[in-house]
C-alpha cells in the first residue's frame, strides 16, 4: 500500500481518526506521518499566548516594548508596570503608547486648559480659540443661536487680527 | 515672620486652632463642608521625582522653596521641612489636609508651605515637584479656583513649568496631565446613607466622569457620612469646564440629601430626634470612644444641628471636632505617642470637656 499523502513511499503508519461519528482510516509513510504529528502537537508557548493577548488588549505595548527614554532611562514597559513616567520628555518619546492610554483615561488627548504665560501669547490664543469653538458646537447642539452668533463673532475677532491663524 | 520657622513651634501653634475651611460658613455649608482645588506642577528640565537622584531632589526642593518665598503668596507663609518632622507631626498635618498621606509617608527631602489660615498649602517634592492646594469652607469652587489660579500665575513667572501645547502641564502620572487639576467638594450626606439612596447618587456621579472618595482622598474609608466628589479626567477639558461639571452636580446632590432629611422627619420625627439626641448624649457622657464611633456620633449630631433639633452647639465646633479627635491631633494634644485604647479614653474626655464648656456657658 502506498502513502496517501506523498503517493511515493510505502505506507507503514496506519491512523484511525474519529471526527464526530465518522471514522476515517489513514495510511501514511513514516515521514508524512511525522509531519502531520508535528502539526497536531504544535501548541503555542506561554510567551506566544501572552503576546497575542497583549496585541488584542493593548497593541501599543508590543510596539513600544523596546522603546526607552534617552533622558531619564526608563523604558515604556517600566512605565506600564509602575504607572509613573520618569521625565517630561517621556510624553514625547512614549507618545505612540501614551495616546491610546490618555484617550481611555480622559476621553481626550488634547489639552485645552490654562497656558503658562511663558508659553507665549500665540499658544494662549490658540487654546482660547479651541475653547470658543467647543462652546460654539455646544451652543449649536442646544440650538442656542443667539449665543452661537456671539461666539462666532468672538472667534472672528480673535482669529481676524492674525491672518496666519488657521 | 521667619519663612523657615522652627517646626516644633509652628506645629504646636496649630493645635490651638483649626483651618478657616472648617468654619462651617459659605454657600450650602449645612451639607458642603469644603471646596478644594489642587494643581500638579513640575519644573522643566528635571526628571520627575521617581527618577530624580538625591542631588536633583535637593536642587528642585531648594529652587521651589525659594520661588515660593519670593512670590509672596500670602504674608504669613512658612515652610516646614518634612524630613525633620516626627511621624506624629506628619500625621497631624495629614489630618489638617495640609499635606497628603503620600507626602507624609514619602522619602527624601520634601516640604510644605502654608499660611496661618491654612487655606493655601504648597507641597514640594510630593508625587510631582509642586502641588498647590487651596481649601475653602462651603461650596465655593469658583472662588477657590480664582485664588489658586492667582498663586499659580505668581509662581509661573518665576518657575519654568514642564508644559506642552498638546498635553498641557506634564505630570509624573498621566492621570493628572493636562490641567493638573483636581477639584473636589466634601459633602456630609447622613440622610442619603440612612435611607440607602447613597449608591444611586454615586452611580450617577460616576457616569459623569467624577469620582467619590472618603475623607482623606484616594483609597480612604468613608467615615462620618463624609464624601469627597472630584473630577477623574484632567485632559481635554479646561479648568472652567471641569468646575462647571462639578458645580452642576453638587446642587442636585444637596437637594436630594435635603429631601431625604425631610422624608425621615415626616415618616418618623420622634425616631429621628431620638437618634440625634442619643448621639449627643453619648458624646457628653462616654468614657471611651473609638475613632469610627465618634465619626458616626458627630455625623448624627451635625445633621441634628442642621435640622434645628439641637441648637446649643455651633457648626464650627462640630466641624472642628471631626478633625481635633483624630489620632494625630490627640497625640499632639497629649504631647506623646498613645496606643489606640489610650486614644479612645482621651478622645472621650476631650469631647466631654468641649461640650461641658458649652453647657456651662448657658
All three cell numbers of B212? 467619590
Q: Can you give the pLDDT at residue A164?
A: 39
ipTM, two decimals: 0.86
- On whether the CB atoms of residues B298 and B224 are closer than 8 A, the answer is yes
User: Between chains, do B173 and A83 touch, taking CB under 8 Å as contact?
Assistant: yes
User: Between chains, do B233 and A105 touch, taking CB under 8 Å as contact?
Assistant: yes
Tell me the C-alpha distance between B309 and A100, whole Å.
54
Set of chain A residues whose Cβ sits within 8 Å of the Cβ of B51:
72-74, 86-87
Tell me the C-alpha distance between A132 and A159, whole Å.
11
Q: Can you give the pLDDT at residue A161?
A: 45
User: Between chains, do A107 and B168 touch, taking CB under 8 Å as contact?
Assistant: no
pLDDT tens digits along B38-66: 999 999 989 999 999 999 999 999 999 99
Closest residue on chain A to B158 (Cα) = A118
A70 touching B, CB under 8 A?
no
Binning pLDDT at 50, 70 and 90, where does residue A125 land? confident
B171: left (phi over 0), alpha (psi -120 to 50) or beta: beta
Helix H or strand E segment including B230? strand B226-231
Tell me the C-alpha distance between B351 and B341, whole Å.
16
Percent of chain B at pLDDT above 90?
72
Q: Can you give the pLDDT at residue B62?
A: 96
User: Between chains, do A114 and B239 touch, taking CB under 8 Å as contact?
Assistant: yes
Shortest distance, CA B306 to any CA of chain A (angstroms): 38
CA angle in degrees (0–180, nearest 5) for B281-B283-B284: 65
Query: Facing residues of B135 across strands?
Result: B36
Residues 6+ apart with CB under 8 A from A149: none
Q: Is A119 exposed, middle or buried (0-12, 13-18, 19+ CB in 10 A)?
A: middle
Q: Tell me how crowded residue A133 is: count the other CB atoms within 10 A of its CB.
A: 15
Set of chain B residues whose Cβ sits within 8 Å of the Cβ of A127:
165
Residues 6+ apart with CB under 8 A from B251: B28
Set of chain B residues whose Cβ sits within 8 Å of the Cβ of A88:
42, 44-45, 48, 162, 164, 170
Tell me the C-alpha distance between B138 and B153, whole Å.
25
Nearest beta carbon to residue B44 from set A88, A108, A127: A88
Query: Is 50 exceeded by the pLDDT of residue B1?
Result: no
pLDDT tens digits along B196-232: 898 888 888 999 899 998 776 555 556 889 999 999 9
Write down the mean pLDDT value for chain B.
91
Query: Is 70 exceeded by the pLDDT of residue A117?
Result: yes
pLDDT tens digits along B331-359: 988 889 999 999 999 999 999 999 987 77
Q: Can you give the pLDDT at residue B181?
A: 98
- On whether the CB atoms of residues B32 and B135 are closer than 8 A, the answer is no
Set of chain A residues whose Cβ sits within 8 Å of the Cβ of B179:
111, 113-114
To probe the interface with A, which of B57, B235, B244 has the most A CB atoms within 10 Å?
B235
User: Between chains, do B237 and A115 touch, taking CB under 8 Å as contact?
Assistant: no
Residue B156's φ and ψ, nearest 5 degrees, are: -70, -15
All three cell numbers of A5? 499523502
> What DSSP state is assigned to residue B221?
P
pLDDT tens digits along A35-82: 877 666 666 777 777 777 767 766 677 778 888 898 899 999 999 989
- On whether the CB atoms of residues A69 and A48 are closer than 8 A, the answer is no
Closest residue on chain A to B175 (Cα) = A105
Tell me the C-alpha distance between B273 and B284, whole Å.
17
B162 touching A, CB under 8 A?
yes
Tell me the C-alpha distance between B14 and B6, whole Å.
13
SS3 of chain A: CECCCCCCCECCEEEEEEECCEEEEEEECHHHHHHHHHHHCCCCCHHHHHHHHHHHHCHHHHHHCCCECCCCCCEHHHHHHHCCCCCCCHHHHCHHHHHHHHHHHHCCCCCCCCCCHHHCHHHHHHHHHHHHHHHHHHHHHCCCHHHHHHHHHHHHHHHHCCCCCC
B163 touching A, CB under 8 A?
yes
Residues 6+ apart with CB under 8 A from B343: B291, B327, B330, B331
- On whether the CB atoms of residues B79 and B65 are closer than 8 A, the answer is yes
Tell me the C-alpha distance between B188 and A117, whole Å.
38
Query: Is 50 exceeded by the pLDDT of residue A166?
Result: no
Tell me which of A13 and A108 has the higher pLDDT: A108
Closest CA to B80 of B98, B57, B59: B98
Tell me the C-alpha distance between B262 and B273, whole Å.
13
B181 touching A, CB under 8 A?
yes
Q: Can you give the pLDDT at residue A9?
A: 85
Closest CA to A58 of A93, A25, A94, A15: A94
Q: Can you give the pLDDT at residue A162?
A: 41
Q: What is the average pLDDT across A5-28?
A: 80
Q: What is the average pLDDT across A20-35?
A: 81
Nearest beta carbon to residue A101 from set B168, B174, B239: B174
Q: Can you give the pLDDT at residue A42?
A: 66
Closest residue on chain A to B43 (Cα) = A88
Amino acid at each position: 500500500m502506498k502513502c496517501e499523502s506523498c503517493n511515493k513511499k510505502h505506507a507503514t503508519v496506519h491512523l484511525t481518526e474519529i471526527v464526530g461519528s465518522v471514522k476515517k482510516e489513514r495510511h501514511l509513510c513514516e515521514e508524512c506521518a511525522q509531519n502531520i504529528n508535528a502539526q497536531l502537537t504544535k501548541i503555542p508557548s506561554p510567551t506566544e499566548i501572552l503576546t497575542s493577548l497583549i496585541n488584542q488588549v493593548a497593541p501599543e505595548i508590543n510596539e513600544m516594548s523596546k522603546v526607552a527614554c534617552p533622558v531619564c532611562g526608563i523604558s515604556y514597559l517600566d512605565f506600564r508596570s509602575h504607572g509613573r513616567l520618569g521625565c517630561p520628555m517621556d510624553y514625547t518619546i512614549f507618545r505612540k503608547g501614551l495616546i491610546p492610554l490618555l484617550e481611555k483615561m480622559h476621553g481626550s488627548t488634547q489639552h485645552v486648559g490654562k497656558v503658562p504665560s511663558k508659553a507665549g501669547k500665540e499658544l494662549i490664543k490658540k487654546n482660547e480659540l479651541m475653547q470658543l469653538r467647543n462652546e460654539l458646537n455646544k451652543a449649536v447642539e442646544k440650538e442656542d443661536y443667539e449665543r452661537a452668533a456671539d461666539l462666532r463673532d468672538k472667534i472672528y475677532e480673535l482669529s481676524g487680527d492674525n491672518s496666519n491663524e488657521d | 515672620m521667619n519663612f523657615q520657622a522652627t517646626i516644633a513651634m509652628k506645629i504646636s501653634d496649630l493645635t490651638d486652632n483649626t483651618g478657616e475651611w472648617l468654619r462651617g460658613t459659605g454657600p450650602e455649608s449645612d451639607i458642603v463642608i469644603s471646596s478644594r482645588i489642587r494643581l500638579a506642577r513640575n519644573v522643566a528640565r528635571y526628571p520627575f521625582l521617581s527618577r530624580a537622584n538625591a542631588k536633583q531632589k535637593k536642587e528642585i526642593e531648594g529652587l521651589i522653596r525659594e520661588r515660593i518665598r519670593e512670590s509672596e503668596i500670602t504674608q504669613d507663609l512658612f515652610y516646614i521641612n518634612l524630613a525633620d518632622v516626627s511621624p506624629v507631626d506628619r500625621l497631624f498635618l495629614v489630618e489638617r489636609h495640609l499635606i497628603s498621606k503620600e507626602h507624609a509617608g514619602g522619602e527624601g527631602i520634601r516640604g510644605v508651605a502654608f499660611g496661618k489660615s491654612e487655606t493655601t498649602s504648597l507641597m514640594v517634592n510630593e508625587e510631582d515637584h509642586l502641588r498647590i492646594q487651596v481649601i475653602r469652607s462651603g461650596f465655593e469652587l469658583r472662588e477657590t479656583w480664582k485664588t489658586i489660579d492667582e498663586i499659580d500665575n505668581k509662581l509661573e513667572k518665576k518657575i519654568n513649568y514642564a508644559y506642552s501645547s498638546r498635553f498641557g502641564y506634564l505630570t509624573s502620572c498621566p492621570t493628572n496631565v493636562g490641567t493638573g487639576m483636581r477639584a473636589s467638594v466634601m459633602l456630609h450626606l447622613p440622610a442619603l446613607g440612612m435611607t440607602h439612596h447613597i449608591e444611586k447618587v454615586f452611580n450617577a456621579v460616576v457616569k459623569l466622569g467624577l469620582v467619590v472618595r472618603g475623607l482623606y482622598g484616594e483609597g480612604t474609608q468613608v467615615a462620618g457620612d463624609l464624601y469627597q466628589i472630584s473630577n477623574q479626567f484632567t485632559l481635554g477639558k479646561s479648568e472652567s469646564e471641569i468646575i462647571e461639571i462639578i458645580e452642576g452636580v453638587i446642587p442636585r446632590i444637596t437637594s436630594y440629601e435635603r429631601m431625604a432629611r425631610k422624608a425621615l422627619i415626616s415618616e418618623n420625627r420622634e425616631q429621628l430626634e431620638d437618634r440625634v439626641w442619643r448621639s449627643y448624649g453619648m458624646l457628653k457622657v462616654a468614657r471611651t470612644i473609638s475613632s469610627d464611633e465618634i465619626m458616626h456620633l458627630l455625623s448624627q449630631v451635625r445633621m441634628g444641628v442642621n435640622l434645628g433639633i439641637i441648637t446649643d452647639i455651633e457648626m464650627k465646633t462640630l466641624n472642628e471636632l471631626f478633625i481635633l479627635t483624630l489620632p494625630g491631633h490627640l497625640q499632639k494634644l497629649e504631647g506623646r505617642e498613645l496606643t489606640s485604647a489610650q486614644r479612645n479614653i482621651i478622645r472621650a474626655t476631650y469631647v466631654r470637656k468641649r461640650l461641658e464648656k458649652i453647657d456651662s456657658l448657658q
